[in-house]
Amino acid sequence: MGFIAFLKTQFIVHLLIGFVFVVSGLIINLIQLCTLVLWPINKQFYRRVNCRLAYSLWSQLVMLLEWWSGTECTLFSDEATVNTFGKEHVIIILNHNFEIDFLCGWTMTERFGVLGSSKVLAKRELLYVPLIGWTWYFLEIVFCKRKWEEDRDTVIEGLKRLADYPEYMWFLLYCEGTRFTETKHRISMEVAESKGLPKLKYHLLPRTKGFTTAVQCLRGTVSAVYDVTLNFRGNKNPSLLGILYGKKYEADMCVRRFPLEDIPQDEKEAANWLHKLYQEKDALQEMYNQEGIFPGQQFKPPRRPWTLLNFLFWATVLLSPLFTFGFGVFASGSPLLILAFLGLVGAASFGVRRLIGVTEIEKGSSYGNQEFKKKE
Based on the domain organization, do 165 and 298 belong to the same domain? Answer: yes
| Domain-terminating residue out of 306, 335, 350 | 306
| Cα 312 from Cα 307, distance rounded (Å) | 9
Per the domain annotation, does 369 fall within a domain?
Answer: no
CATH of the domain at 49: 3.40.1130
| Cα 243 from Cα 112, distance rounded (Å) | 22
Based on the domain organization, do 33 and 76 belong to the same domain? Answer: yes
% of the chain exceeding 90 in pLDDT:
62
Based on the domain organization, do 302 and 317 belong to the same domain? Answer: no
Amino acid identity for residue 336 in this structure: L
| Cα 107 from Cα 253, distance rounded (Å) | 12
Per the domain annotation, does 339 fall within a domain?
Answer: yes
pLDDT at residue 61 tops 50: yes
Based on the domain organization, do 225 and 286 belong to the same domain? Answer: yes
Question: Structural domain of residue 189, as residue ranges?
Answer: 7-306
| Cα 274 from Cα 151, distance rounded (Å) | 20
Return the minimum-mean-pLDDT range out of 61-75, 233-247, 269-283, 319-333. 319-333
Per the domain annotation, does 366 fall within a domain?
Answer: no
From the list 170, 227, 232, 174, the residue with the least C-alpha distance to 365 is 174
What is the reported pLDDT for 336?
A: 80
Average pLDDT over residues 227-237: 91
What is the reported pLDDT for 84?
A: 96
pTM metric for this prediction: 0.88
Number of domains, the chain: 2
Based on the domain organization, do 218 and 348 belong to the same domain? Answer: no
Per the domain annotation, does 2 fall within a domain?
Answer: no
Q: Which residues contact 311 (CB under 8 A, 6 or more apart)?
A: 20, 59, 60, 63
Quickly state the pLDDT bin for 180 (edges 50, 70, 90).
confident
Based on the domain organization, do 285 and 351 belong to the same domain? Answer: no
